[in-house]
Structure 1
Amino acid sequence: MLALFQHRCLPLPMPRVLRFALLSLSVLAVGLVALIYALTWHPAAREPAVLACQAEAPQLQPGQALKVMTWNLQYLAGKRYVFYYDLPDGEGPDERPTAEDLAYSLDEVVRVIREEQPDIVNLQELHEGARATDYQDQLALLQERLADVYPCASQAFYWKAAFVPDPHILGSVGLKLATLSRFHIESAERLQLPLEANDPVSRQFDKKRALLVSYLPIRGGGRLAAVNTHLDALDDDPETLKRQVAMTRGLLDQLQSEGLPWILAGDFNQLPPGQYERLSAPQRSRYTRDSELKALWSRYPMIPSVEEASGAQQAQWFTHYPNDPRVKGPDRTLDYVFHSPSLTRIEARVRQDDTLRISDHLPLTARFFLPSGH
């Protein structure tokens, strides 16, 4: 009787249909993971950046004047749109620019760069292979038009995927940093910044912000490091932004300890002191009152300086003109140039008068004297 009872209590064999269903689900899960991995991009923490430089490009000279420009080009979209991500509620009506507007912006960017004649140009938000801009290689389009001025260029993606399942995108993305130079670039590297905190799946499709570091030899010995970046705007994840700024400062501290002159220029997505309070509640929602950039400006010279960006003339340093119908002109500073103390600032300005239709950011330029080498 006991044996019969024990026999009846043994677990029943799993039905074949259930085993097949579980196996199928496992295969689908593995296949989904493999598909997501194949569709997305997985850069190393540190890797060589793509670099093209003509052999005859001149070298920097000790003590020479050097003009630098930084400009977020908003992928040549222009200012006739309110994109879905432009409004605080994410409800902007537009998803992509027209081919005509892309062509107009390209012409205008070339015009401004040729008129300004900067020696080094740090550009952000250039598209390559993105469905939203007809799969253009926007850096290549610029290089074709500026080949006689800039023999050298480095580049690094910070968003890349064959397909993003966001309803506003539903296709490929490709977003990059680029540095154009009149002078020889001997090497360049991409340094991965800390990633936004997100779930494991979403994180694969997120932007992967970076530092693009280009090294320009100086005749007689030494190098200049030109650093390009576009930091996150993470009001809901301040720790990631803090870590990105900390890593950036770590790089600058390292360059400084090695005795290398350096310039860091880009879109930092942070306000200087005093500008948070002047924005309306909807406009300030993406920023923190206390900028994380204090970790940089408290140690190294910044353009515009805190006094310039916070004083009575702060409007002349505004670099951002949001694509928001409630905003009627440039109203905040998000783009900066930091530099090593060994560089002497000559002059700087934001070109506002004839650039308002080109991008939601305005070009910031600065001129320096390089160290003389003595």
Structure 2
Amino acid sequence: MLAYVLKRLLLFIPTLLGVLLVTFVVIQFVPGGPVEQYLAEARANVRGGVESGGSNYRGDQGVDPKRLAEIKALYGFDKPAHERLLQMLGQFARFDLGRSFFQNKDVWTLILEKLPVSISLGLWTFLISYGVAVPLGVAKAVRAGTRFDLVTTLLILVGYAIPGFVLGVALLVVFGGQLQWFPLRGLTSATWDDMNWGARIVDYLWHITLPVTAMVLGSFAVTAMLTKNAFLEEIRKQYVLTARAKGLGERQVLWKHIFRNALIPIVTGLPAAFIGAFFAGSLLIETLFSLDGLGLLGYESVIRRDYPVVLGTLYIFTLIGLLTKLISDLCYVWVDPRVKFD
């Protein structure tokens, strides 16, 4: 087991290098980099009659060459691509993610600022999804073929078919606009700081209801059907027939014998689902409900060509994804000691 873990940890290095190298190369060919965006903003300001940075842009004469060289040096584009790549890898090896081009903050600071929103969405989505999906899947397996199974399957598939963004728009229009039961944006009210703790909890839950509902409805469909199919597969096995033949009750057979084996594919996927809930927030949901989370941060960084934020967040998320995958594989041994990695 130790050798397997060490081997997987060593494989992290080429995987991270490959992901960062491919992304860095793609960035070099994407038009409209930070220097071009800076100059475009200068042109727009001059045409609009706004002074921008002194003599950065001089009409038909373009940009002063010295000033252009200073701008390139500011963003690090005065060096060849391979030097910038090696410098970035050296920083990442020290877990230094650099500094945002446009927000004048460290990438770590930006991630920590946006993380509470993503945690709020992800944690509630994870808890509600698994809290509903697993019991529902067990109930569907026990009542397979009944009207309950057919009706719940239909409802699950309908919910799964509706995109979260479309559902979010409908929730906003009906419950936020027409009925005005819930707020339209943000995680807290403007008077949050003046509230006591009880009022803060109610206010937070009031704001989080619509976005979490939009994310949850379709997210538990896969888990519910996976749970049902896993239980049905175990129910048909010989050891279940043997347990029933010995006179054990259905409840004892279900929870003592079937439950542990059926939950193997679900439990092993818990680490990935749990971590993913924090870092794989919905960009559309965050945009729709004006929630400033990691998804919106990544999107705006790509649009503005804020390369330190793009590469820094990619590095952290890839590393977390690799660690989560390793933990998921180790969960197989924890759930079923018969599994060997030899």
Asked if Structure 1 and Structure 2 have the same fold, meaning a TM-score greater than 0.5 normalized by the shorter chain, the answer is no
TM-score tier, shorter chain, comes to under 0.3
Pick the structure with more strand per residue.
1
Question: What's the TM-score once normalised by structure 2's chain length?
Answer: 0.20
Pick the structure with more helix per residue.
2
Question: What's the TM-score once normalised by structure 1's chain length?
Answer: 0.19
Structure of larger gyration radius: 2
Higher relative contact order (CA 8 A, sep 6+): 2
